[in-house]
Structure 1
């Protein structure tokens, strides 16, 4: 039985060591509930003391998800700044900023060093080749270093596990001139397996600038397109040794607008990433070793009246080489350790603030231990040291506790985090400040997971986050303003989730987040409300009127947002209707109406959301 939207709970979900395995790999080994992100020392699902949400390939397909950022709207603790396809997307976890969330794809660390601060923009990331998404919430710098103050989003792509060749294809069309499609070919023969995926998307508008809040007439539709390829290949050289190559490449084009007006500005972006990995696993499965080398490159060209004729160039490159080793005795203790070499490089050629070419290197080592002093009780501790070539050394640590008894798991975590300043913040000729240091944070959570057979799952968490030495833009720095370091933030809140299947033909999903986010920009001890949305929620009711059909009514709620540039948005609720019908084992048709009641709303101030829109398509496999 298929269900529409994932519910952010895999009760007692655990972790394997550092392998970036696919969901198919896990299923083939009978470990469907394993979570590969949360720890590098534990192997049992009931031992994880972190809050983790998992989205499966089936749930992405059933939810008709095109862009990854869309499904993140239904994850507790996650706030996404847009629901427009291709629009600039900021993803926040538990009150973090976008640059404090680390993204991984098959073990590749994504992050653009040419951004203001090294970060990954998920605007163009689609779901067509994804087998599994894991969202790990809370400070994770002790395992993942800088950029993981808010958490980690780990994407695992599809992989062939059965002999032979399989082809999956999908095509859809709809409102605003939307065309979307893709195809994957997966194959396996003996020790070799491969996958190659091609995708494309485009729409003709409407304008990003909302006419209802614009200060001048809005006359231009804003076009967007993207196309790309991704793939992976694996070789099982022996029962103990395997190798893997994976990567992706994409091109995109976006029209740009100001907050309250049309512009003629555009941006072309090219991204690509690749990695080579080697895995060793001992005969008794206790010792695991992984070696990974990866590169991520993002190249942005901005065109407009104030840019160079050939476009203002921002090109960032992130290289990483890491070694991860874990040993699980299966008894009282298991341990993990590793190291990482990372280089970030940016090449900037602009009229906007000047040209520069800079790089920065970071060397890191970490260790983690998991202890099992009593039945059902697991304690983990991790520590990390990062040595940065520009501003020195910083350390982070983290501890968790998990106690599992029957259908209940009680968990808690506490840790520290750090965020390195970006190369733009350090070295931009106009706005940079080379004296910046790493931001620091501390945070934790306490919660419970409940799983009653296949009929009811509940997750509840209380969390808090504190940040200091935040890098902020100071307009008073001569001559035109620049970056300084004196911000402080505190956030706390509650995450709730429930999924229930009271009847064989009925499924209910509910998620809810409350976040209290405050800042102290003057360091006078007075915190003020930042204006971010306090409440977000997602509800879905799925029915199966007949075996081959599925209907879902979904509602998403978001509180008012006072923190955006230029103005405030109002609270809103948007209802979508989704349906699918399986004609045969290999053919399925689907369709959806987004914003069913044609609600006017803005996710971020000044940006037009889509009105009532309809889409339909077909999936085939053979």
Structure 2
């Protein structure tokens, strides 16, 4: 602990890291993730972090998960090279319990074992904004929002024509390029963004020597048509085609991950089609939509070799949402949804569905106080009905003090794989969680500084895990393990997490921006058995990030990021320790005229060697340089 805090202090003095702008009281931050309706951040009692396009470009970030790793309460693990399986855990929850939304489409993969989302293929090319909500939030979002929500929003068209592009080259023969154009004229608007990344990568196996490369090309687009004032059509689409070399071999002597010629491909297609009708000067807003998420995954033993894994996941959702303001102080957000999902692993084909209804009441009894309460019912085709509740309050005093408190419940239906695969169990109950948190934020230095602290407590019940079956269970006809020699999924796990999140944003002069955060997350396995009382796997107790940028009068900007992660364990038995590490990066950007800029960065400046998953390597020191173009 002493060493960790000394390192944190030294990093804060040297070149601090994570960035979230200090709120402008004259232009309040608007978020949509808390209630699925636009609200000022000052009216939300839940913990939400916002990362915008300016932050993404300032940080020169290619992979979205690299940004998430520097936000409070979030930890990230990756199986080696860029593009490999990447998991995001929020406040100690499982990675599969993070709901991911891209432009209104829930994109968690129905064909994955736990219904999770692979962040390895999510690039920053078209991302305009990221909202990270920490804690269960199933009332507006439904199943899977049990740990938190990561909401990805791409660029919306604005008046006139705008265009931007960038290209960079760097370590491991990496090439990253993206370009986008958007515009609006009268009732018609549209945008299109494309991106490409290719790299030789690193060996995913920490002991390996063969580089594992990655390639992705993709595009996003939007089209809007306003038929009459407040009435229109909204179309959105996302496509990505990815290929990554994977090390799935094992050294026969050490049983650790080893080089192999295997590779994996993924095709992702997400779509949104919606009609909106806003009446009474915005007091009664309506939206109906159809969304689709289609994910195809294939693993190959080698180029030209056999398919070793096949996954086909698809979900379709029909939804209506109404947003009604009968009074200035009262707002009702409610909706009804139907989701159909299916998966195919080459052996088993299965499908299921959920019908949901939810309602939220937002009340402002005082100008400085906002109280929100909600309830949701999900009726699953295979295991019946489940109801969740949530409530939060935000008190934004004129002294610059904001007090927030929230209670949220999470609900996650068993996945199709957990229900219907060869290891499935149709008697599973849904996973549930409850979380409460309370926090306070204080502005100072004439709103040039802001400091905050949040305490949270979460409990997870009926967590679904894979378990081996004993010889006795295998031969007991009434047991779910009967004739299951390789094991079965069951509601066997319980988990707890308590923690504290600290944040700091400081802008003492216009040229200098400094932010920092620290999270302490104490997780505990509460499942009866040998692992009772152990830390949850791959959940470090201590994480911190500090960030600073300085802009010179002649246009040059320089900055740095330091991220620190404490020790953790690789597995539930807590026998393999993953040592903590610190990563430092520096960057600079220089404008050339009004439209061009050149930039460069060095990641992992000290060439730190570390693992987030035992046996898998990570990048050492790496340098990149590029050029940026913007037309307005």
Give the TM-score of the pair, scaled to structure 2.
0.89
Q: How many Å apart are 1:371 and its aligned residue?
A: 2.1
1:176-255 alignment to 2 at 5 Å? 176-211=172-207, 218-255=208-245
Mean alpha-carbon deviation: is it higher for 70-79 or for 40-49?
A: 40-49
Do the aligned partners of residues 323 and 569 (structure 1) sit closer, same or farther apart at CA in structure 2, a change above 3 Å counting?
same
* 1: CA distance, partners of 2:204 / 2:279: 54
Partner-residue secondary structure (3-state), 2:119 = coil
Partner-residue secondary structure (3-state), 2:334 = strand
Answer yes or no: is 1:518 the counterpart of 2:521. Answer: no
Residues 465-505 of structure 1: per-residue CA shift (max 9 Å, x gap): 10111111101243111211121000010111111011232
Do the aligned partners of 1:11 and 1:449 also contact (CA within 8 Å) in 2?
Answer: no
Partner-residue secondary structure (3-state), 2:45 = coil
* 2: CA distance, partners of 1:366 / 1:330: 21
* 2: CA distance, partners of 1:384 / 1:12: 34
1:431-510 alignment to 2 at 5 Å? 431-452=423-444, 453-476=446-469, 477=481, 478-510=484-516
Do the aligned partners of 1:265 and 1:302 also contact (CA within 8 Å) in 2?
Answer: yes
Residues 229-280 of structure 1: per-residue CA shift (max 9 Å, x gap): 1111111222121211111111111111145311222111111111101122
Per the alignment, residue 387 of structure 2 pairs with 395
Do the aligned partners of 2:449 and 2:507 also contact (CA within 8 Å) in 1?
Answer: yes
Do the aligned partners of 1:366 and 1:385 also contact (CA within 8 Å) in 2?
Answer: yes
Do the aligned partners of 1:292 and 1:323 also contact (CA within 8 Å) in 2?
Answer: yes
Residues 106-138 of structure 1: per-residue CA shift (max 9 Å, x gap): 111111100002222121111121211111111
Q: How many Å apart are 1:332 and its aligned residue?
A: 3.7
* 2: CA distance, partners of 1:525 / 1:613: 39
Do the aligned partners of 1:9 and 1:53 also contact (CA within 8 Å) in 2?
Answer: no
Q: 2:608 aligns with which of 596, 599, 607?
A: 599
Q: How many Å apart are 1:329 and its aligned residue?
A: 3.3
Partner-residue secondary structure (3-state), 2:86 = coil
* 2: CA distance, partners of 1:117 / 1:57: 31
Q: How many Å apart are 1:330 and its aligned residue?
A: 4.1
Per the alignment, residue 25 of structure 1 pairs with none
Do the aligned partners of residues 110 and 405 (structure 1) sit closer, same or farther apart at CA in structure 2, a change above 3 Å counting?
same
Do the aligned partners of residues 482 and 8 (structure 1) sit closer, same or farther apart at CA in structure 2, a change above 3 Å counting?
farther
Runs (4+) of structure 1 exceeding 3 A deviation are 3-6, 8-13, 40-45, 305-308, 329-332, 451-454, 523-526, 564-567
Per the alignment, residue 572 of structure 1 pairs with 581
Do the aligned partners of 2:17 and 2:560 also contact (CA within 8 Å) in 1?
Answer: no
Do the aligned partners of residues 564 and 179 (structure 1) sit closer, same or farther apart at CA in structure 2, a change above 3 Å counting?
farther
Unpaired stretches in structure 1, ≥5 consecutive residues = 14-29, 212-217, 350-354
Answer yes or no: is 1:364 the counterpart of 2:361. Answer: no
Q: How many Å apart are 1:598 and its aligned residue?
A: 1.3
Answer yes or no: is 1:55 the counterpart of 2:61. Answer: no
Partner-residue secondary structure (3-state), 2:106 = strand
Per the alignment, residue 477 of structure 2 pairs with none
* 1: CA distance, partners of 2:512 / 2:365: 42
Answer yes or no: is 1:428 the counterpart of 2:421. Answer: yes
* 1: CA distance, partners of 2:324 / 2:350: 39
1:85-234 alignment to 2 at 5 Å? 85-163=82-160, 165-211=161-207, 218-234=208-224
Mean alpha-carbon deviation: is it higher for 610-619 or for 371-380?
A: 371-380
* 2: CA distance, partners of 1:599 / 1:530: 25
Do the aligned partners of 1:290 and 1:324 also contact (CA within 8 Å) in 2?
Answer: yes
* 1: CA distance, partners of 2:591 / 2:38: 40
Residues 267-294 of structure 1: per-residue CA shift (max 9 Å, x gap): 1111111110112222422111111211
* 2: CA distance, partners of 1:102 / 1:415: 15
Unpaired stretches in structure 2, ≥5 consecutive residues = 1-14, 249-255, 470-480
Answer yes or no: is 1:411 the counterpart of 2:404. Answer: yes
Partner-residue secondary structure (3-state), 2:30 = coil
Do the aligned partners of 1:10 and 1:53 also contact (CA within 8 Å) in 2?
Answer: no
* 1: CA distance, partners of 2:610 / 2:53: 30
Do the aligned partners of 2:81 and 2:203 also contact (CA within 8 Å) in 1?
Answer: no
Partner-residue secondary structure (3-state), 1:173 = strand
**Cα-Cα RMSD:** 2.3
Partner-residue secondary structure (3-state), 1:114 = coil
1:280-295 alignment to 2 at 5 Å? 280-295=277-292
Q: 2:260 aligns with which of 249, 258, 263?
A: 263
Residues 558-580 of structure 1: per-residue CA shift (max 9 Å, x gap): 01121348833211111111110
Per the alignment, residue 534 of structure 1 pairs with 541
* 2: CA distance, partners of 1:10 / 1:545: 20
* 2: CA distance, partners of 1:310 / 1:254: 15
Partner-residue secondary structure (3-state), 1:71 = helix
Per the alignment, residue 383 of structure 1 pairs with 375
Per the alignment, residue 621 of structure 1 pairs with 630
Do the aligned partners of 1:41 and 1:328 also contact (CA within 8 Å) in 2?
Answer: no
Question: In the comparison of the two structures, how many residue pairs are matched?
Answer: 591
Q: How many Å apart are 1:311 and its aligned residue?
A: 4.9
Partner-residue secondary structure (3-state), 1:528 = coil
Per the alignment, residue 314 of structure 1 pairs with 311
Per the alignment, residue 9 of structure 2 pairs with none
Mean alpha-carbon deviation: is it higher for 256-265 or for 107-116?
A: 256-265
Do the aligned partners of 1:496 and 1:511 also contact (CA within 8 Å) in 2?
Answer: yes
Q: How many Å apart are 1:47 and its aligned residue?
A: 1.8
Per the alignment, residue 328 of structure 1 pairs with 325
Q: How many Å apart are 1:46 and its aligned residue?
A: 2.7
* 1: CA distance, partners of 2:235 / 2:27: 23
Do the aligned partners of 1:5 and 1:59 also contact (CA within 8 Å) in 2?
Answer: no
Partner-residue secondary structure (3-state), 2:586 = strand
Do the aligned partners of residues 185 and 40 (structure 1) sit closer, same or farther apart at CA in structure 2, a change above 3 Å counting?
closer
Do the aligned partners of 1:4 and 1:62 also contact (CA within 8 Å) in 2?
Answer: no
Residues 435-491 of structure 1: per-residue CA shift (max 9 Å, x gap): 112011111100012234451122211011101111111012431112111210000
Answer yes or no: is 1:72 the counterpart of 2:81. Answer: no
Q: How many Å apart are 1:102 and its aligned residue?
A: 1.0
Residues 14-61 of structure 1: per-residue CA shift (max 9 Å, x gap): xxxxxxxxxxxxxxxx96511111125774543211111101111101
Do the aligned partners of 1:170 and 1:617 also contact (CA within 8 Å) in 2?
Answer: yes
Do the aligned partners of 2:601 and 2:624 also contact (CA within 8 Å) in 1?
Answer: yes
Residues 347-391 of structure 1: per-residue CA shift (max 9 Å, x gap): 111xxxxx1110011000001112223342222110000000011
* 2: CA distance, partners of 1:60 / 1:439: 34
